[in-house]
Amino acid sequence: MALNIHRLLAESGATSADVALAAGVAKDTMRRAERGEGVLLDSLDRIASGLQVWAWVLLRPDALLVPCTGFAPPSKTTLALRLRQWVREDEARSMKLLQRLSGVTQPTLYRLLNPRLGASLATLARVAAAIGCAPWQLLVPISNLGDSEILIF
């Protein structure tokens, strides 16, 4: 994430303060993201908007950093849909299994299923590792699936 943010800032000529202001996030939040430290998905969405890319692009290590076009739902909405999809695609899967595999508590997992509630990048990383995918893959809107590399389940 940090590398992608630095690349986008360099390409645009904007400062982190400019992006923070445009994104509506605190400068400290922007600095944490620039250092690759944890931010909430809401903040990631805002920072991505300020940089004019989709949030998942910031997390993808090999991302082509091109401006986003079209609508992208909030990352936490996509995450909730992807987790439900993961459970539905195999009857042996459940949120209880995901809890055991990820070490994330059941109340926190259910928070991920409720798009009105927040989630951290650290929790996203733990859940992604348990599922066997990269964190960015859980944030790609299902409508954007065309690239077989993005199909994760």
pLDDT at 68: 61
The answer on pLDDT for 149 being more than 70 is no
Coil, strand, or helix at residue 108?
helix
Asked if 49 and 97 sit in the same domain, the reply is no
Encoded tokens for 91:
């009857």
pLDDT at 150: 47
Average pLDDT, the chain: 85
Asked if 79 and 140 sit in the same domain, the reply is yes
Coil, strand, or helix at residue 16?
helix
In a domain, 82, yes or no: yes
Report DSSP letters for 52-96, one per residue. Answer: TS-HHHHH-TT-------S----HHHHHHHHHHHHHHT-TT--HH
Owning domain of residue 104: 75-144
Asked if 48 and 109 sit in the same domain, the reply is no
- Please indicate, yes or no, whether the overall pTM of this predicted structure exceeds 0.85: no
In a domain, 64, yes or no: no
For residue 5, what is the DSSP state? H
Asked if 84 and 132 sit in the same domain, the reply is yes
Residues 121-141 as b/e (b if ≥16 CB within 10 A, e otherwise) read bebbbbbbebbebbbbbbbbb
Q: How far apart are the first and last CA of the chain?
A: 23
Our separate counts of H helices and E strands in the chain read: 9, 0
Condensed to tens digits (0 to 9), the pLDDT of residues 17-61 reads 999 999 999 999 999 999 988 898 899 999 998 998 888 889 988
Asked if 86 and 133 sit in the same domain, the reply is yes
Asked if 7 and 50 sit in the same domain, the reply is yes
Q: Choose one of 34, 59, 84: the last residue of a domain.
A: 59
In a domain, 65, yes or no: no
Encoded tokens for 80:
């909730």
In a domain, 121, yes or no: yes
**Distance between CA 33 and CA 20 in Å, rounded?**
11
Q: Choose one of 31, 59, 87: the last residue of a domain.
A: 59
- CATH of residue 42: 1.10.260.40
pLDDT at 151: 43
**Distance between CA 116 and CA 11 in Å, rounded?**
33
pLDDT at 146: 52
Asked if 53 and 80 sit in the same domain, the reply is no
